[in-house]
Amino acid sequence: MVNQYDVIIVGGGIAGLQAAIQLGRYKHKIAVIDSNDGRSTICRNYHNILGWPNGVSGETLRNLGKMHAERYGVSFIQNEVVKIEKNHDVFHIYCRGGDVYLAKRLLLATGVKDNIPSIENIYKCLGLTVYVCPDCDGYEVVDKHVIVIGSGKTGANMAFTLTYFTRDITFINHDWSNLDYEVNVMFDQKGIIHIQDETDEILLDEKTSDFIGVRLKSGKIIEGERGFLGFGGNEVRSDLATLLGIERLENKHIIVDPRTKMTNIEHVWAAGDIAVHSEQTTIAMGDGMQAAIWIHKSLLDEKTSE
Ligand SMILES: Cc1cc2nc3c(=O)[nH]c(=O)nc-3n(C[C@H](O)[C@H](O)[C@H](O)COP(=O)(O)OP(=O)(O)OC[C@H]3O[C@@H](n4cnc5c(N)ncnc54)[C@H](O)[C@@H]3O)c2cc1C
């Protein structure tokens, strides 16, 4: 049957692509179903990845990964998976529009969706001069004037975290959320300027497109050298897992075996940001690779017991 695969990978971001490359090299019949709207589609530069000292965009990694996997015969289907069922050891994977695909093994690699506020120009500089993660990009703001745009306590905490890298910070409380007295005291102690206003626009240098500041709803312009977002509210895209009885943490990250990346449900693996880890590209790659190795072992075991 045309739509039957050994393994279906739901999510063709960093984890899914690395798994697809490895599983393709084991010569299994693999399909990747991807809705093309994950974090790796919006990050315009990763700065902390081995082999890319000048950084690499999510788009470049995704294009290279897809080309690489296609060399081994991996099929790519652009669609969104809306439901998954397991019937007699076969996974039935339902996509938007009604297409159904069958697989013996399933890898979930659907990642996290970022809560990016609607501010003009924001997508032009994500990962380049405006960042979301201090572990990824704290280094990019060393000794620079950073404008942290955020929401209440979450945004304030981002500003406090960044004091490790720079002491020149302006925090814009975008949605006017309440801040405790203690937080205001900390702003004073750490020399953080605090403004309550909505940000309407990220200002970009005409020639380089670098971040040069923000325009607030009040019309005021604040100049800065780099931006950081601190909103929280990212969505862990693991709801498909609940239909299969897969165990998740309260924050919706999927629990996997640390060695095999298999979930509590037999023949279902999870890799990348959807699992429990530090939400990094290199970890997502490692997860995808590790899951692929154990998926292969499980397919081999099945063949030898036939
Ligand atoms: C602005 C920004 C900057 C970052 N900077 C860094 C950095 O410098 N260094 C670093 O290591 N990490 C960085 N990250 C994090 C990094 O992007 C993630 O760790 C990485 O993308 C995780 O890979 P993943 O495969 O788990 O998820 P993703 O790359 O998000 O891929 C998940 C894929 O699943 C697809 N999908 C989701 N649901 C479905 C569905 N139901 N059906 C079909 N497909 C689906 C999505 O479309 C997506 O393509 C950054 C993230 C952002 C947003």
| Mean pLDDT value across residues 159-170 | 98
Nearest-CA residue for ligand 1 atom 26 is: 272
Nearest-CA residue for ligand 1 atom 46 is: 38
C-alpha 286: how far from chain center: 14
For helices 152-162 and 181-190, angle between their N-to-C axes, nearest 10 degrees? 20
Alpha carbon of 64 to ligand 1 centroid (Å): 15
Mean pLDDT for all residues in the chain: 96
Q: Which of 95, 110, 113 to mutate to test the pocket of ligand 1 (most atoms within 8 A of CB)?
A: 110
Q: Which of 80, 228, 253, 281 to mutate to test the pocket of ligand 1 (most atoms within 8 A of CB)?
A: 281
CA dist., res. 138 & res. 132, Å (int): 9
224-241 pLDDT, tens digit each: 999 999 999 999 999 999
Asked if residues 6 and 27 have their Cβ atoms less than 8 Å apart, the reply is no
Domain covering 122-230, topology: FAD/NAD(P)-binding domain (3.50.50)
Token readout for 292 is 């692929």
CA dist., res. 129 & res. 211, Å (int): 6
Token readout for 92 is 């039935």
| Mean pLDDT value across residues 182-199 | 97
Between β-strands 235-236 and 112-113, what pairing exists: parallel, antiparallel or unpaired? antiparallel
Nearest-CA residue for ligand 1 atom 20 is: 281
Residue 1 pLDDT level (bands cut at 50, 70, 90): very low
> Distances from the Cα of 167 to the Cαs of 193, 245, 274, in angstroms?
10, 47, 33
pLDDT of residue 302: 85
37-73 pLDDT, tens digit each: 999 999 999 999 999 999 999 999 999 999 999 999 9
Residues with CB under 6 Å of ligand 1 are: 10-16, 33-40, 42-43, 46-48, 58, 80-81, 109-111, 114, 126-127, 132-133, 136-137, 237, 272-274, 279-282, 284
Beta bridge partners of 29: none
CA dist., res. 283 & res. 48, Å (int): 12
Residue 2 pLDDT level (bands cut at 50, 70, 90): low
Alpha carbon of 126 to ligand 1 centroid (Å): 13
CA dihedral 229, 38, 137, 183 (to 10 degrees): 30
Nearest-CA residue for ligand 1 atom 28 is: 13
Report the CATH architecture of 4-114+234-304: 3-Layer(bba) Sandwich (3.50)
Q: Which of 43, 158, 254 to mutate to test the pocket of ligand 1 (most atoms within 8 A of CB)?
A: 43
Alpha carbon of 115 to ligand 1 centroid (Å): 13
Asked if residues 149 and 158 have their Cβ atoms less than 8 Å apart, the reply is no
Alpha carbon of 285 to ligand 1 centroid (Å): 11
Radius of gyration of the chain (CA): 22
Which uninterrupted H or E stretch holds 295?
Answer: helix 281-304
Domain boundaries of the chain, sorted by first residue: 4-114+234-304, 122-230
Residue 32 pLDDT > 50, yes or no? Answer: yes
Output the pTM of the full model. Answer: 0.97
Phi, psi of 179 (to 5 degrees): -125, 135
4-114+234-304 and 122-230: identical CATH topology: yes
In the chain, % of residues over pLDDT 70: 99
CA dist., res. 301 & res. 126, Å (int): 44
